[in-house]
Chains A and B, each alone.
Chain A
Amino acid sequence: MFTEENRNSQISQNSENSFSPDNELEVSKIVKKLYQENLSVEIIGSGSKRRIGKKLKCKKILDLSKLSGVIEYLPEELYIKVKACTPIAEIEALLKKHNQELAFEPLDLGYMFYGKSNKGTASGHVSCNFSGSRRFKVGSIRDHVIGFRAVNGTGDIIKSGGNVVKNVTGYDLCKLICGSFGTLVALTELTFKVLPSKENSNTLVIHELSTKDATAMLNKVASSSSDTSGAVFLPLEPKNGNYEQNIESLFKLNDLQYKGPFTAIRLEGSKTSIQERLANLKKELDLDGKEISNLDTYQSTLFWEKIKNLEFFNNSKNAVLRAVIPPSSCVKLINFLDNKYKYFVDWGGSLVWFEVNDLSNSSLQPIRQFILELNGYLTVIKHPDDQRSLEEVFTVAPDRLDISNNIKKSFDPKKIFNPGKMY
């Protein structure tokens, strides 16, 4: 193993502080050693989401990218078991062959951080728990992880869950690891629930609604019985010179030539079903006489890819923030943001992504306060200029800090995993 003496002789200079184990047992051995020697470690998969969270000052790096590959995929059992750092793109491609998918629509944060696609790994997505536009219909990542194996902070290999969806045997640790940003365990294996993909998709784009009408409509959509699976609002960027004006060009499609703010609603399923639901929805939303565009499957798929990839924040120098709020408060939040920041609304009004120019610790404070008053929470996803200069990246209610700290210690008593990333 790697005691101080023999490490230099075994591992080359530039990787002196970085371990890249081949398998779970090796992860366990490395962590046991780190635990004994009290050395903090940054856990990375492909590194695609490394810039999220607070700056880490770890002694070591645990690069788990070699833990990659599909272990078991049984389409008729609706699950896929993978090594933790299997690229999401690889999983998606395999599922697609069997007309299945990860229904939570893994986001591609690559555009925002690097200006190009970088979907990252399974464990990266699980660690963040950021889910796509179907959230209000199918749940988030935490609702799709049904089992895992991992190494905890003492180096013990642990597991929870299984291969089946209906399972209440012992505490549901699958939920705990989702959104834990690598602070509890080093994941080695993940089992996801998968679902059949939809044959067709159709998007209704409603032009030119006021922010008030748009949010009211999103809310109606999310509680409609027409089985919608996406509801977003995209206003035009503020023209104050701080934000790139790319929404118009980005969403220009054959059947979407309109320029201006729009509200988009997605329906998925068989052709006849979509037609019927479209008719229903138009009645429900009272769309008669409104300007609308209708996107067929091809264009609709493209459209939601762009949403999922957050392409409008492509390579931005600004900070990007993510606010989750009770949907009825959406209008208040966007009135607060309107004309100042570039933003868009997803999840039928429950999620707002926005870009802030010149964000500093002091200018972040009132924004967070406003969102807290709406009973929501705010996460800084991208620091300004990627400098990781902001201190309060997450919003954790103070009454939960103690508990979270105790939970953290129960997995990682010496706090060696990603210390400070979240807690």
Chain B
Amino acid sequence: MTQLVMPKIDKKILSNKETIVKKLKEITNSNNVLSHESELIPYETDALTAYKQIPLVVALPETTHEVSEILKYCNNEKIKIVPRGAGTGLSGGALPLEDSIVLNLGKFNKILEVDFGNRCVVVQPGVTNLAITKAVQHKGFYFAPDPSSQIISSIGGNVAENSGGVHSLKYGTTTNNILGVEVVLMDGTICRFGGKTYDSEGYDLLGLISGSEGLLGVITEITVEIKKNPQTVKAALIGFPTIEDGGNCVSSIIAGGIVAAGMEMMDKVLIEATDNFSKAGYPRDAQALLIVELDGTKSDVDELINKVSEIAKKNNATSLKISNNEEERLKFWAGRKAAFPACAAMSPDYYCMDGTIPRGRLAEVLKEINRLSKKYDLPVANAFHAGDGNLHPIIMYDANKEKSLEKAEEFGADILKYCVKVGGVLTGEHGVGVEKRELMCEMFNDNDIQQQLRIKKALDYNSLLNPGKVYPILKKCVEEGRARVHRGE
């Protein structure tokens, strides 16, 4: 485990554990308060398992009122809170602090209202992403954001991270697909941002809360917008002799005015890994594989598939398959969706990165990643939401080997720095969390960070909500000799 500097531990809080537990048991059912070590261990990490910390207590409130009471109490007593959904976050956003209460939203697991008339569903934050689609699919509707973790990740977590998926290219990420939230602020204030209407008046606090990684408020209810299923969906599976050809094909598709529902690319390492794992029938001789999914009416899709095929041929495609039915389409995706387990089968541990780059720089960035892979002597496989430039290099390492994790982390940081260098950003969908906290200065200067910290302070004056996340603690985003960021203050 690598050393992670977190905000100073308040010893008084640690020694007050009994009182705190007692108080929490007054607010919520006593079964909802976990305080024995054995009960706390499941909460010591999220899906970024390199970092672990057992919290002081875990609370599982059942109502918004209880959340509000807990936060109010904690705000008065200066106790830190770490909100948690399903714990599938990949950047350590839900990592506990030793002196914190983990606020698990797992008991908020109800779909409150399905409202077809207003094309929306009102849900509690603990409902899984996929459960929303399941609740509306009988009428041909679905919830568009589709993170690969959609079977398990919670909608509250999706909003907090502004999660995306393979269809974000055409349909946007979570923030573009929600209408309203109920939020509890750290001082216990319960408020609503948005509702069942489009946009809202006054500052777009709904937009601010989306992607705020649990630092600004606890989300206790969400109204999501649902869409009607497209009439037809087809996919093309295209192999290329070089990454450049694949990248050029993506650019030409976009330049050709085609908005695909999804465009996913994989490099050679991942093609083989996933094909071994899921027998998806991928072209193993290809250096790059592109899946282009198109949706719409039948003639629309046929027309676009033809255009895409033409473009692929012009870009030296060595193989091209079009899905003839739903079964084939799903088979095309089977490999891509198994990217993580396929890597897990190849290596004891893996570390998934998440930078976004301008699409046109793909070949260059992949070349750099391969160079770094040699430098660090760690294999890497690349999955890429090619349509929107979101890159997921998966670094493989063996945590049992000395310094291996440190090396993987350094490798990852170098990739992200390079993403920023070519005009991209540090994270496209997994969030900053603790993982990329110290890299924020690559993108932002002190002014930018200070503005964000002032917003944080405007909503959480004592900095008690998910402290130690997103903003640098060690580094200073110095510019013009000014250095004001220090230990998150």
- Nearest CB in chain B: distance from A225 CB, A: 4
Question: In the assembled complex, which residues on chain A have CB atoms less than 8 Å from the CB atom of B385?
Answer: 166
Distance of A135 Cα from B228 Cα, bound (Å): 15
| Chain A residues near B175 (CB-CB < 8 A) | 143, 172, 175
A222 proximal to B (CB < 8 A): yes
**In the complex with contacts A175-B204, A276-B300, A164-B357 CB distance below 8 A:** yes
- Whether A170 sits at the interface, judged by CB under 8 Å, is yes
With the chains together, A348 CA to B299 CA distance in Å?
25
**Chain B contacts for A74, CB-based, 8 A:** 358, 360
B259 within 8 A of A: yes
Nearest residue in A to B450 (C-beta to C-beta)?
A156
Question: Do A170 and B359 form a contact, CB below 8 Å, given A164-B425, A196-B259?
Answer: no
Are B207 and A397 in touch, CB under 8 angstroms? no
Pair B297/A227 contact, Cβ less than 8 Å: yes
Give B261 Cβ to nearest chain A Cβ, in Å. 12
A176 and B203: CB pair below 8 A? yes
On whether the beta carbons of A404 and B203 are closer than 8 Å, the reply is: yes
Contact A377 B198 (CB under 8 A): no
Name the one of A142, A197, A223 contacting B119, with C-beta atoms under 8 angstroms.
A223
B228 A224 Cβ-Cβ under 8 A: yes
Task: Determine which of A131, A168, A222 lies in contact with B428 in the assembled complex, contact meaning CB atoms within 8 Å.
Answer: A168
- Asked whether A396 lies within 8 Å of B201 as measured between CB atoms, the reply is yes
Q: Which residues of A contact B296 (CB under 8 A)?
A: 227, 269, 273
A277, B459: Cβ atoms under 8 Å? no
Q: Who on chain B is nearest to A402 by CB? A: B189
- Given A272-B303, A410-B455: A164 touches B197 (CB 8 Å cut-off): no
Is there an interface contact between A167 and B201, defined as CB atoms closer than 8 Å?
no
Residues of A near B298 (CB, < 8 A) are 276
State how many angstroms separate the Cβ of A328 from the closest Cβ of chain B: 4
> Is A178 an interface position by the 8 A CB rule?
yes
Docked-complex contact B459 and A157, CB < 8 angstroms: no
Contact residues of A between 370 and 423, Cβ < 8 Å to B: 375-377, 379, 394-397, 399-400, 402-404, 406-411, 422-423
| Partner-binding segment picked from A75-83, A201-209, A299-307 | A75-83
Closest to A350 in B: B198
Cβ of A24 to closest chain B Cβ, rounded Å:
12
Q: A166, B358: Cβ atoms under 8 Å?
A: no
Segment with Cβ contacts to B, from A288-296, A319-327, A357-365: A319-327
Q: Is the CB of B204 within 8 A of A142?
A: yes
Choose from A136, A158, A184 the contact partner of B198 (Cβ within 8 Å).
A136
Q: CB-nearest residue of chain B relative to A129?
A: B199
C-alpha spacing A89/B75, complex, angstroms: 50
CB–CB B459/A406 < 8 A: yes
CB distance from B458 to the nearest CB of A (A): 4
Interface membership of B379, Cβ < 8 A: no
Q: Are B118 and A280 in contact (CB under 8 A)?
A: no
Using A76-B251, A139-B172, A375-B195 as known contacts, say yes or no to A166 and B429 having CB atoms under 8 A apart.
yes
Pair count A-B, CB < 8 A = 255
B461 CB to closest chain A CB, in angstroms?
Answer: 9
The CA of A129 and the CA of B141, in the complex, are separated in Å by 28
Partner of A171, one of B173, B211, B426: B211
Please indicate the chain A residues that have their CB under 8 angstroms from the CB of B359 in the complex: 76-77
In the docked arrangement, what's the CA distance between A178 and B189, Å?
25
For the complex, is A335 an interface residue (Cβ under 8 Å from B)?
Answer: no
Assess whether B229 is interfacial by the CB under 8 Å rule: yes
What separation, in Å, do the CA atoms of A3 and B211 have in the docked complex? 43
A165, B388: Cβ atoms closer than 8 Å? yes
Known: A164-B356, A169-B443. Contact between A410 and B451, CB under 8 A? yes
Q: Smallest CB–CB gap between A369 and chain B, Å?
A: 15
Whether A15 sits at the interface, judged by CB under 8 Å, is no
Contact check, B360 vs A77: say whether CB atoms are below 8 A apart.
yes
For residue B442, which residue of chain A has the nearest CB? A169
Across-interface contacts of A174 in B (CB, < 8 A): 207
- Tell me how far the C-beta of A245 lies from the nearest C-beta in chain B, rounded to whole angstroms: 30
A327–B457 CB distance below 8 A? no
Q: Is the CB of B470 within 8 A of A164?
A: no
Interface residues contributed by chain B, number (CB under 8 Å): 89
Residues of B contacting A159 in the complex (Cβ-Cβ under 8 angstroms): 444, 448
A168 to B356, CA, bound (A): 10
Closest to A398 in B: B191
Q: Does B447 interact with chain A (Cβ within 8 Å)?
A: yes
Chain A residues near B192 (CB-CB < 8 A): 397, 399-400
CA distance A311 to B228 in the complex (A): 32
B427 at the interface (CB under 8 A from A): yes
Check if A140 sits within 8 Å of B424, measured CB to CB: no
A158 with B451: CB separation less than 8 A: yes
Q: Say yes or no for A160: interface residue by CB 8 A criterion.
A: yes
Contact with B along A81-113 (1 / 0, CB 8 A): 000000000000000000110000000000000
Inter-subunit contact B254/A403 (CB<8 Å): no
Q: What mask results when residues 223 to 258 of chain B are scored 1 for a CB within 8 Å of chain A, else 0? A: 000001111000000000000000000010011011
> Does the CB pair A163–B423 fall under 8 Å?
yes
Contacts of B201 in A (CB 8 A): 179, 324, 377, 379, 394-396
| Residue in chain B with minimal CB distance to A75 | B255
A410 touching B458 in the complex, CB below 8 Å, given contacts A78-B254, A170-B440, A375-B196: yes
Across-interface contacts of A397 in B (CB, < 8 A): 192, 202
**Interface status of A226 (Cβ within 8 A of chain B):** yes
A226–B296 CA distance with the chains assembled, in angstroms: 8
Q: What residue of chain B has the Cβ atom nearest to residue A172's Cβ? A: B211
Interface mask (A320-346 → B, CB under 8 Å = 1, otherwise 0) = 000011111000000000000000000
- Are B203 and A180 closer than 8 Å at their CB atoms? yes
Evaluate contact between A166 and B228: CB separation under 8 angstroms. no
The reply to whether A164 and B389 contact each other, CB–CB distance below 8 Å, is yes
Quote the shortest CB–CB distance from A293 to chain B (angstroms).
Answer: 23
Tell me whether A164 and B358 are in contact (CB under 8 A): yes
Is B210 part of the contact surface with A, judged by Cβ < 8 Å? yes
Asked if residues A169 and B426 are in contact (CB atoms below 8 Å), the reply is yes
Q: Does any Cβ of B come within 8 Å of A195's Cβ?
A: yes
A219 near B: Cβ within 8 Å? yes
**Which residues of chain B have C-beta atoms less than 8 A from A377's C-beta?**
197, 200-201
CB distance from A188 to the nearest CB of B (A): 13
Which residue, of A129, A135, A157, A326, has the highest number of chain B Cβ atoms within 10 A?
A326
- A166 near B390: Cβ-Cβ < 8 Å: yes
Task: Beyond the given A171-B452, A222-B119, A396-B201, please list 8 additional residue pairs across the A-B interface where CB-CB is below 8 A.
Answer: A76-B359, A156-B447, A158-B451, A165-B168, A166-B390, A227-B296, A403-B459, A407-B459
25 pairs of residues in contact across A and B, judged by CB atoms under 8 Å: A76-B359, A77-B360, A142-B199, A142-B207, A152-B451, A156-B451, A166-B388, A176-B208, A178-B204, A222-B119, A223-B228, A224-B228, A225-B229, A269-B300, A272-B299, A324-B197, A327-B119, A375-B196, A377-B197, A377-B200, A400-B191, A403-B205, A406-B458, A410-B457, A411-B451
- Of all A-B residue pairs in the complex, the 6 with the closest CB atoms, nearest first, are A175-B207, A196-B257, A328-B117, A166-B428, A406-B458, A326-B196
